[in-house]
Chains A and B, each alone.
Chain A
Amino acid sequence: MSQNKDVVEIDQVGFAYDGDLVLEDVTLTVRQGDFLGVVGPNGSGKTTLLKIILGLIHPLRGKVRVFGQPPERARHLIGYVPQHADLDSSFPISVMDVVLIGRLGKAPRLGRYRKTDRQTAEEAMQEVEIYNLRNRRFGTLSGGQKQRVLMARALVGKPDLLLLDEPTTSVDGRVEQDIYELLKKLNEKVTIILVSHDLGFISSYVKHVACVNRRLVCNPTNEITGDVIEACYSGPVHMIKHKCEL
């Protein structure tokens, strides 16, 4: 795997919701094989950045390229893990059916899923160790289990780039560590961008860190060293931690 290919190129991107500037002049490049952690306080534009990479929203200014293409055309190469709290937990749907949604784009347009779709879904569930949960109702699972289901759904499309939005909110420390170990393993094959407001574990697992607070506060050009982390976080960290305790 070439380490030098650019997977995501964001060039001077700006975005606003109803006139409120959320992102301003963000320039960021993610290389193949990278594991980038995007951190920043709540409301700092992290999730917006992910949605721009996914092509769900379009930047007002600047240019985005994913695998050298406009984001919408690269979607089949991206796996996305949203925050599970946004999904209706009273919805009667099995784990298997949730994972199969990740095959929708590749399955036949009409009728049922093919056998190969189901096999691929089973492989993805085995990869994140939830195969035994496949017949359970999604809403009855714990936060960590739901997170793995959504990861399986993202992996079932065999992505080259994996985007995760706050994968460790509402899970305890041990589960959090398990999830990061799993991501580290997955990172051998796919490029990962992970968004988090929580700095607990992130620095020991990711390769690069970008700190976003409307602007890109620090650029992830260097490998992480103690000095870089200090420089990036000395200001914002205390503010973020303080907010978390509230």
Chain B
Amino acid sequence: MFEFVEVLKSHGFMQNAVIIGLLASVACGVMGTYVVVKRIVFISGGISHTALGGMGIAYYYGYHPIHGAVVSALIAAVVIGLVSLRYHQYEDTIIGALWAIGMAVGILFIYRTPGYSIDLMSYLFGNILMVKRESIYLLASLDALIIVLVFLFHKRFLAVCFDEEYSELQGISVVTTYLLLLCLIALTVVILIQVVGIILVIALLTLPAATARYYARSLVQMMILASLLGAVFTTSGLIVSYQPDLPAGATIILIAGLAYLLATVFKGLTLRFPRKNPPKSLFRKGGL
């Protein structure tokens, strides 16, 4: 721990990693809240893996991978969104198909790209310790965009997540609102893939929000709590992984997963063995 503080003071890469972790926690805490309550974890997974296909194609044709990723993720978000609204019974099949096809396309194009092939593992698992300074600015802009859009649209997002039918009766376009939400999730996922890898994105999108859900009374509370939890998980993951030289991303995921597991068990116990009522109610009964 003490050693980590020393490294943090003297090494830019560790400062970058901590800042990236904090910024990613905000993006994931806010968007992850919608993902968890709307039960679209699988949809988010489908979008993120489809992004890999776009990355491969962009890489092959000599563009920056992120451009291909943004385009393919947004297309995936719209396709999956429309399918899930119109043909709900085929939703998971189509997501599964896009998921697999996206990855296969990515792998094929990267394989066929002449020259020194990039390391596919880095897109899957990322490396939070190797991020560049520009990524911090990119991520800070993403956070700002998310916060502004959520402030403007939260009423509608909340209504559509909770009760689609009633939102439609209120004259809200459920399709537009849902697609906007999915596109925002897609953008979050794509930008974070560059930085921390697909698997850490899905972990940060779901685990902090799922843990926060047990304690939050509203979506806004859940967003704040999920962001704080994400910050704790990423920072402590970096601290724990530094000394024994463990992969940082995987350590962060395991800490987040462990916290979620403990919170779930604890919640299960409090439901099974509820606290006794305060003695007040005993006095009222029978009028003694």
Contact = CB atoms under 8 A, between A and B. Distances in A.
A92 B213 contact: yes
A94 interface: yes
A97 B220 CA distance: 11
B162 A91 contact: yes
Interface residues of B, number: 27
A91 B154 CA distance: 15
Interface in B154-191: 154-156, 158-159, 161-163, 165-172
B168 A104 contact: no
Nearest to B216: A92
B162 A93 contact: yes
A82 B222 contact: no
Contacts of B153: 110
11 contacts: A75-B170, A76-B171, A78-B169, A87-B162, A90-B213, A92-B217, A94-B217, A94-B218, A101-B166, A104-B156, A135-B217
Contacts of A88: 37, 162
B264 interface: no
Interface string A151-193: 0010001000000000000000000000000000000000000
B82 interface: no
A80 B217 contact: no
B219 A93 contact: yes
Interface of B: 37, 151-156, 158-159, 161-163, 165-172, 213, 216-219, 221-222
B34 to A, nearest CB: 11
A139 to B, nearest CB: 10
A111 B217 contact: no
A92 B221 contact: yes
A78 B156 CA distance: 20
Given A56-B165, A92-B219, A93-B218, 6 more contacts: A82-B163, A93-B158, A97-B158, A105-B170, A111-B155, A157-B170
Interface string A72-89: 000110101010000110
A35 to B, nearest CB: 21
A160 B171 CA distance: 17
Contacts of A97: 158, 218
Interface of A: 54, 56, 75-76, 78, 80, 82, 87-88, 90-94, 97-98, 100-102, 104-105, 107, 110-113, 135, 137, 153, 157
Given A94-B217, A107-B155, A111-B151, A101 B171 contact: no
- Classify the interface of chain B: helix, strand, loop or mixed: helix
A101 B163 contact: yes
Contacts of A104: 155-156, 159, 167, 170-172
Contacts of A105: 169-172
A111 B154 CA distance: 7
A74 to B, nearest CB: 11
B184 to A, nearest CB: 15
Contacts of B222: 92
Contacts of B165: 56, 82
Contacts of B170: 75, 101-102, 104-105, 157
A188 B217 CA distance: 36
A217 to B, nearest CB: 28
A110 B161 CA distance: 17
Nearest to A110: B152
B112 to A, nearest CB: 45
Contacts of A113: 155
Nearest to B219: A92
Contact of A101 (B151, B167, B213, B219): B167
Contacts of A107: 155
A156 B14 CA distance: 53
A49 to B, nearest CB: 16
B271 to A, nearest CB: 11
A107 B217 CA distance: 23
Contacts of A98: 162
Contacts of B151: 111
A78 B37 CA distance: 28
B166 A153 contact: yes
B226 to A, nearest CB: 11
